[in-house]
Structure 1
Amino acid sequence: MADYILYFLLFFLSCLFLLFLLHKTSGSASSSAAAAKLTLPPSPPSLPLIGHLHLLLPANYKSFFNISSKYGPLLHIRLCSLQYVLVSSASLAAEIFRTHDLTFSSRPDFAFSEEYPYGKVGFLGAPYGDYWRYMKKLTMMEVLAPPQLARSRFVRNEEISRMLHKLLLSSQKKESVDLGAELIKLTNNSICRMMMSTRCSEENNEAENIRKLVNDTIEIATKLAFGDLFSEGPLKRLPFWLFGKKVLKLNIRFDVLLEKILQQHEERAKIHGFERDDRDLMDILLKAYLDEKAEFKITRNHIKAFLLDLFIAGTGTSAEVMQWTIAELINHPNVFRKVRQEIECVVGSRLVEETDIVNLPYMQAVVKECLRLYPAVPVARRACRETCKVNGYDIPKDIMVAVDLFAIMRDPNLWENPDEFRPERFYNANPNKDEGDQGMKHIQYEIKGQNFSFVPFGGGRRGCPGSLLAYNTINRTVAALVQCFDWKVGKDGNGEKVNMEIGTGISLPMAHSFICVPVSHSTPFVA
């Protein structure tokens, strides 16, 4: 295996050198011409050919944070052929998300996006235009609107109850659980049932197959992303040469499976209609698909792509934030007790409900603090639709802009002791005073507000459309786990604290499995 890796590296480096020789002259000429016309943001020292790649390896959450801390909040970065602008301050994020929101209202077009399952018709990655505007309106007015979220609340209640019963059984047996895996299963099941009225944990069903296909999609997309480094030249197609057959097979598997589920929903709608009390998200999308008077005529592929987007965006990210929140509470027992006392005071002996969250301000403060420290998506990516100026510099048309949300929400110029877990930042015990519990001026931070020092779900019109659902789900799930169980760290329950090391990936996963032993405190879900 080591020999194969060595041969591949030698081949890769040889191709890089050949590419450099072939494009050196033309590349230098075009770069010089572009530089003469535009005043680009400052750029850190780079190396020939690879640009700033050496400064961003290993590719994890620290990469952007380290380079912006050293060289500044607005940078022009080059990774081989890929160029983008890195933004890492709240004031500059306000320019992207508010001042120039329309200019930065598209997503970057990644390598081979047309080869992914429904890659060119997905909502989350769609360019700004008629289709995106129609789907955004449909999403906010129907798919993820408060009435539909209220209608599907019983689904989330049932799934949380199932998880609590399973944890109670482990508690009675004094067995350890992988809480991270349980939370991922919870979000998978909830999203599956909300989308198409089926659970992922049931054997031999479509939703479980979709979950596996989503994992395969993420894996293959990571491999194909290598092609973004070479927008020109012979190496651009190398990843697809290596993994193209897998992509094509993935497309076929997705299409067959989702078409089957669509047909099942169409048959049910013929009998019961689309206005049932138990309608799911696929019913809403099918109704829009059949609407001859719709502002935009969506296709079946649009529906399939939208469902895939929701599944990818709505499962692992929320589960990760829940893990970090429970872990911080375990590591800070005083905060844990304060959250439990608030729940018991407000809720009493029954199980905490989603509608209780509005009356649990300290619980919300804990979740907001964890969203600040561990945002579900640490970097928000946008594409510049037309050349504009930000902070006096030119941002070229079509260039990718990466807004480092992780760095902004840990900026020491904005947050006192930014790496500390301190829920009081978001909680004013005495609203008649201007000072918070920690001697800091109290500021009202909203999940979808105009304070760009707190942007856990991004900002502007391309901010996360499911932020309300995610926020309520995280609050309610964490509250239930605190209300019902104490937690002992480790497989044997003898650990002192949860390991808070962050792993690698496009999100912020835990580097180590979250293993602990649940200890029953109360069982309102059994009564």
Structure 2
Amino acid sequence: MLLSFELLMSPLISFPLLLLLLIPFKWLLSSAVKAPKNLPPSPPKLPIIGNLHQLGSIPHLSLRTLAEKYGPVMMLHLGSVQMLVVTSAKAAQEILKTHDLVFSNRPKLEIPDQLNYGSKDIGFAPYGEYWRQIKSISIIHLLSKKQVQSFRQVRERETARLIDLIGQSGGSVVNVTNMLVKLTNNVICEVALGRTYNDGFKFKDMLVKFQTLLGAVSVGTYIPWLSWVDSLRGLNRQTKKLAKELNDFYDAIIEEHVVKRKMGGAGDNQEPDLVDILLDVQKDSATTGFTFGRDTIKAIISDVFSGGTDTTSSSIEWALSELIKNPPAMKRLQQELTDVAKGRSMITEDDIDNMPYLKAVLKETLRLHTPLPLLVPHESMDDVSVFGYDLKKGTQVMVNCWAIARDPSIWEDADMFKPERFLNSCVDFKGFHYELLPFGSGRRGCPGIQFAVSINELVLANLVYKYEFALPNGVRGEELDMAELVGLVVRKKDPLMLVPTARF
């Protein structure tokens, strides 16, 4: 269950007298700090909590509403933290391109820090030599174009298993959501760990908790002297419990690889997986001068799973949901797939480049259902001027890429699913077009774009090529519930339950 902001603030409501006694002191203290000369516009703030109460239970929606009043570049005061919120493509470009280096740091966030071994992962590590080293290792050994292509057989094998599993349903209702999660988890397990795991759904539950906690608001992060509130809510207990569960899982995986290597290597002529590669890097670290401990290995594994499983499976789920709600788009895509496949039993990765409408469907899905609606916060490493406003060193920046992707000044019929908009457009999602930023941009952009997109394209193409899908109990496709479950990643609230029928 997600932690809503109302739940977050409930302990504060229980101690009104304490807060009233502390407000004058804290308010006077904060007002004594000298501010820059020209700050961005900001909503009125409350003592102590500032604008925290205005985040609401769905922050990307609340922040868009505030931006409509205060502008695409506005300053929020989240407790003691100054947070610049960006809600336009031009402003995002200034942050992520013009001043990319200045904003390449990450703020220290309590929950990610606990779950990622002191922020030793790629996503949350502070900018510096350590981050550059681990990002380089991950790209070269897992996420380069050559490496992604080398995993083709894994993707195609798992996609074929999914298609066969759906076919065995005999026309009964299937939980497509669970099937997609299992597929993406299996692909990543084989690539990163060398094999799949029978307890995959237990691990999936841990990953769901992981994403939920990363999306939770920690009072202590923004108001350090109220960090006890997180303990009162049980947030610290949940985080520590999950961190231990994940740590035990990763330790078991690493030990399994260490034992296997002592016995003579991967076996069965298998190529080294990510853990093998990281163990080799660790072994060589003594000669390179780069400290590479076991916690770093576990943090990188965590990044690969958390960044690859939930975001990838949810994107395929959203795409299929939108096609079911929009039958003309479904028919057009099926026609393209049928024309390219020419009667073959499966779509292969060689076919994908000849499928512009498939690519348009996925772009439109990523626009409407941005996996991370709010990019992970950036932090300025120096004083800087942005859009004529003066920002102090340490100012955090949050880019509302969900709101930018639905900006009516950029997108015609911004809230409608219209893949055709991308057929004659050069706009892509690789971080060079700031009106579409599902994977971020610049130095801190997601390095796993090609890895994720390769799975998305292949799986969606084969699902739509092989089957017609209907909703259970005669519900029409247009009536499909698209309610969201908000965390770090926005997922479909209810699992996608469908009745498949073979097309041929």
- TM-score over 0.5 for the pair: yes
Give a deviation string over 1:286-311, Cα, whole Å, max 9, x none.
Answer: 12111133362311110001101111
Amino acid at match of 1:480: N
Distance 1:248 1:320 in 2: 26
User: Within the alignment, does 1:412 sit opposite 2:412 as a pair?
Assistant: no
- Of the candidates 254, 258, 262, which is equivalent to residue 266 of structure 1? 258
360-369 or 216-225: which moved more? 216-225
Equivalent in the alignment of 1:69: 68
Report the Cα distance in structure 1 between the residues aligned to 2:251 and 2:147, rounded to whole angstroms.
24
Query: Of the candidates 386, 390, 396, which is equivalent to residue 386 of structure 2?
Result: 390
Question: In the alignment, does 2:450 pair up with 1:458?
Answer: no
Partner residue of 1:3? none
Residue aligned with 2:74, SS: strand
Q: Which string of whole-angstrom CA distances, capped at 9 and with x for unpartnered residues, describes residues 402-446 of structure 1?
A: 000011111111111111111111103xxxxxxxxxxxxxx3012
Amino acid at match of 1:475: E
Runs (4+) of structure 1 exceeding 6 A deviation are 6-10, 273-276
Partner of 2:229, secondary structure, is helix
Post-superposition shift, 1:196? 0.3
Tell me the equivalent position of 1:192: 189
Residues 339-361 of structure 1: per-residue CA shift (max 9 Å, x gap): 12222222222211223222211
RMSD: 2.6
- Pairwise CA distance, 1:114: 4.1
Seq. identity, %: 32
Q: Determine the structure 2 residue equivalent to 1:354.
A: 349
Structure 1 residues 320-341: Cα deviation after superposition (integer angstroms, max 9, x where no partner): 1111111111122222122122
In the alignment, is residue 474 of structure 1 matched against residue 470 of structure 2? Answer: no
Is the counterpart of residue 254 in structure 1 residue 251 in structure 2?
no
What is the Cα deviation at residue 61 of structure 1? 3.2
1:176-209 C-alpha deviation (Å, 9 max, x unpaired): 1222222122112211221102224x2xx5x555
What is the rounded CA distance, in whole Å, between the counterparts of 1:240 and 1:63 in structure 2?
26
Matched residue, 2:179: 182
State which drifts further: 75-84 or 473-482: 75-84
User: Paired residue for 2:331, among 324, 337, 343?
Assistant: 337
The unaligned stretches of length 5 or more in structure 1 are 1-5, 429-442, 523-527
Please, which of 358, 368, 371 is the counterpart of residue 363 of structure 2?
368
In 1, Cα distance between the equivalents of 2:20 and 2:267? 58
Partner residue of 2:300?
306
Displacement of 1:450 in angstroms is: 2.1
Pairing 1:22–2:15 present: no
2:138 is aligned to 139
For residues 327 and 7 of structure 2, what CA distance do their matches in structure 1 show? Answer: 52
| 9 and 63 in structure 1: CA distance in 2 versus 1, 3 angstrom threshold | closer
Cα separation, 2, equivalents of 1:297 and 1:8: 38
Equivalent residues of 1:274, 1:287 under 8 A apart: no
2:51 maps to 1:56: no
Shift in Å, 1:175: 0.9
Residues of 2 paired with 1:83 and 1:414: CA distance? 28
**Does the 8 Å CA contact 2:211/2:489 hold for their aligned counterparts?**
no
Aligned residue type for 1:230: I
Q: 2:158, 2:183 within 8 Å by CA — same for their partners in 1?
A: yes
What amino acid maps onto 1:281 in structure 2?
L
Which deviations, in whole Å up to 9, do the C-alpha atoms of 1:448-490 show, x marking residues without a partner? 242211212111110111111111211111111110000111x
- CA–CA distance in structure 2, aligned partners of residues 192 and 312 of structure 1: 12
Secondary structure at the counterpart of residue 166 of structure 2: helix
Q: Which residue of 1 aligns with 2:3?
A: none
Question: 1:440 maps to what in 2?
Answer: none
Moved more, 66-75 or 21-30: 21-30
Aligned to 1:434: none
Residue of structure 1 equivalent to 2:155: 156
| Superposed counterparts of 1:96-245, under 5 Å | 96-111=95-110, 113-170=112-169, 172=170, 174-200=171-197, 202=198, 205=199, 209-221=202-214, 225-231=218-224, 233=225, 235-240=226-231, 242-245=234-237
Q: Distance in 2 between matches of 1:146 and 1:506?
A: 27
Q: Is the 8 A contact 1:117 1:305 kept in 2?
A: yes
SS for the counterpart of 2:34 is helix
For the structure 1 residues 347 and 83, does the alpha-carbon distance in structure 2 shift closer, same or farther, using more than 3 Å as the test?
same
The 1-side partners of 2:122 and 2:155 are apart by 24
Preserved contact between residue 60 and residue 506 of structure 1 (Cα < 8 Å): no
Q: Which piece of structure 1 moves more, 122-131 or 496-505?
A: 496-505
Aligned equivalents of 1:79 and 1:296: distance in 2? Answer: 36
Cα pair 1:117 1:250 within 8 Å, conserved: no
| Structure 1 residues 40-55: aligned runs within 5 Å | 40-55=39-54
Any idea what SS the aligned residue of 2:63 has?
A: helix
Normalised TM-score (structure 1): 0.86
Given that 1:493 and 1:516 are in contact with CA atoms closer than 8 Å, whether structure 2 keeps it comes out as: no
Matched residue type, 1:383:
E
CA distance in 1, matches of 2:7, 2:98: 50
CA distance in 2, matches of 1:403, 1:8: 23
Unaligned runs of 5+ in 2: 1-5
Q: In structure 2, give the amino acid aligned to 1:198.
A: R
1:252, distance to aligned residue in structure 2 (A): 3.8
The corresponding residue for 1:445 is 427
Rounded to whole Å, the distance in 2 between the matches of 1:164 and 1:105 is 42
| Structure 2 Cα separation of the partners of residues 378 and 9 of structure 1 | 23
- CA 1:188/1:80 → structure 2, altered by over 3 Å: closer, same or farther? same
The answer to whether residue 294 in structure 2 is matched with residue 278 in structure 1 is no
Residue 422 of structure 1 pairs with residue 418 of structure 2? yes
Q: What SS is found at the alignment partner of 1:414?
A: coil
Of 106-115 and 386-395, the range deviating more from structure 2: 106-115
Report how many aligned residue pairs link the two structures. 493
Task: Name the amino acid aligned to 2:436.
Answer: F
CA contact (8 A) 2:26 2:48 kept: no
Three-state SS of the structure 1 residue aligned to 2:370 is coil
